[in-house]
Each structure stands twice: as C-alpha cells, then as structure tokens.
C-alpha cells in the first residue's frame, strides 16, 4: 500500500456486532479479493483499499464505502460492466416486487402533502431482519438531508433488536402506546412523547396498543 493511501476502517467481523448489511458487504469483499475461500489476490485487495480511500466520506458507514469500492473493482477488473451491475440490480428489484427500494425514494418536489397522499408500503423487514408482524410505513417527506415517515404498528408487534450505523432518527408518538428499549434503557411512550436513536445504538419498539409514530431520519436512509 503506498504511503499516501489512508488505511480504511476494517469491517468488523465480530459476531453480534456487525449489522446484516455489514456482513453482506464483508462477504462480497472476501469473494472479490479472495480473503475468504479461494486464492488471495493482493493486487485486488490493494485496489479495493485505494478505492475505499477515494469513496470514504464521514456521512457514509464504512460498509457503504467498501460497497462502492467493491463495485469499482468489479468494473475496473472487467468482471462486470456498470450496465451489467445496474441490470442485475433491476432484476432483484423486479423480483422483490417492492414499491420502494433502497436509494429509490426520490426527493419531494412539492412543499405540502395532504393526509392520505403519502406513498405507503407494508414492510416485513428492518435492517435485513424479519419483523414478527408487518408494519405500515408512509413516506411523508423526503429531501437531500432528511426522510420523514409515518409508521403504523399493530398491537403486539415488536421490532427485532437492530441498529442504524449510517443515520440517526428522531421519533414522536402521535397515538397509541409503545414500550421502547434503547441501548439498554426501557421507556413507555405515550402520545406526545419523543425519543431518539443515535447511530450504532441497538434498539427495539413494542406496540402495547395500535400506535402511530412519526420519525425523521438524517441523512435520509431507507432501512427496509
């Protein structure tokens, strides 16, 4: 590695610490460079590190920067063209049938959204983990810097324990009652209460009653 290349933050391989997204990126990196099974390719790893340094940004998680590096290496090596990668991503999107896919929530051009007009999705996963009951998520507003959601939880629904490494979230309970667990602390939220999920802090919510909450994610990251 040349002296001017900054050493990247390593992907954390400790079981239980890395998120689902981190683990998938880690696996792809191992496949591309041969760090897992198969012959190790020092040149590919060096190029991945160089691309990582190029793409690293404080607003991204380390796994996001690694993912961009992996994409660049695949294109540079001639393994896949940019068009081929995009075509495969389109095929995955078509197969899932989801109305909203990561990176596809467009900025709103209007400054007012009437009740009931927000695009809505019924989701069954968060950060790659399966929920015990589907949750209704309405995208209320989206800009370059924030994503506002309205989330309706059925009574008895509890999130899997998860964390967000690439954004922070502020939440406000509109109706219902929630039990919250945030970084080892428990709270009972009633209408009018507000709470916060910092980056990298494990948390879950349990609907003691059917509940509606509004949350704002910054930067605007789609987690389902």
- Condensed to tens digits (0 to 9), the pLDDT of residues 66-96 reads 888 888 999 998 888 888 888 887 776 565 4
Query: SS3 for 35?
Result: coil
> Could you give the 3-state DSSP secondary structure of residue 163?
coil
Per-residue model confidence (pLDDT) at position 202:
93
At 99 the pLDDT is 43
Distance CA 220, CA 142 (A): 7
With beta carbons less than 8 A apart as the criterion, state whether 54 and 75 touch: no
| 139 CB-near residues (< 8 Å, 6+ apart) | 100, 105, 118, 119, 120, 121, 147, 148, 149
Enter the tokens of residue 139.
């995208």
What's the rounded mean pLDDT across residues 47-55? 86
Q: What are phi and psi of 28, to 5 degrees?
A: -65, -40
Please name the residue that has the structure tokens 């929630």.
178
The pTM (predicted TM-score) of the whole model is: 0.57
Contact 221, 100 (CB under 8 A): no
User: For the segment 162-219, what is each residue's pLDDT rounded down to a tens digit?
Assistant: 999 889 999 999 999 999 999 999 999 999 999 999 999 999 999 999 999 999 999 8
Taking the C-alpha atoms of residue 212 and residue 207, their distance in angstroms, rounded to an integer, is 9
CB-based burial of residue 91 (10 Å sphere; 0-12 exposed, 13-18 middle, 19+ buried)?
exposed
Specify the pLDDT at position 100. Answer: 41
Where in the chain does DSSP place strands (E)?
A: 120-126, 129-142, 147-153, 168-175, 178-182, 185-189, 194-197, 203-207, 211-218
Nearest to 202 by CA among 168, 165, 162, 174: 162
pLDDT one-digit tens code per residue, 105-139: 778 888 888 887 888 888 888 888 888 889 999 99
* Percent of all residues in the chain with a pLDDT value above 70, rounded to a whole number: 81
pLDDT value for 16: 47
**Whether the predicted pLDDT of 97 surpasses 50:** no
> Does the pLDDT value for residue 36 go beyond 70?
no
Take residue 148 and report the two structure tokens written for it.
Answer: 């506002």
Residues ≥6 apart with Cβ < 8 Å to 187: 179, 180, 181, 193, 195
Half-sphere exposure of 107 (CA within 13 A, CB side): 6
60 has a pLDDT exceeding 80: no
């Amino acid at each position: 590695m040349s002296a001017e290349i900054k050493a990247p933050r390593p992907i954390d391989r400790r079981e239980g610490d890395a998120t689902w997204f981190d683990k998938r990126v880690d696996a792809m990196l191992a496949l591309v460079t041969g760090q897992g099974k198969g012959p190790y390719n020092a040149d590919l790893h060096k190029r991945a590190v160089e691309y990582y340094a190029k793409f690293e940004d404080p607003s991204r998680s380390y796994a996001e920067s690694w993912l961009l590096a992996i994409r660049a290496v695949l294109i540079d090596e001639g393994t896949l063209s940019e068009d081929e990668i995009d075509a495969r991503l389109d095929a995955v999107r078509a197969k899932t049938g989801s109305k909203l896919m990561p990176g596809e929530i467009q900025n709103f051009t209007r400054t007012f959204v009437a009740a009931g007009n927000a695009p809505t999705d019924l989701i069954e996963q968060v950060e790659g983990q399966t929920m015990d009951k589907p949750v209704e998520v309405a995208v209320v507003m989206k800009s370059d810097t924030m994503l506002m959601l309205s989330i309706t939880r059925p009574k008895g629904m509890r999130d899997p324990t998860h964390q967000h490494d690439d954004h922070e979230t502020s939440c406000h309970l509109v109706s219902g009652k929630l039990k919250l667990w945030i970084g080892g602390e428990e709270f009972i939220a009633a209408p009018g209460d507000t709470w916060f999920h910092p980056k990298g802090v494990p948390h879950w919510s349990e609907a003691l009653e059917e509940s509606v909450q509004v949350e704002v994610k910054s930067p605007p990251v789609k987690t389902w």
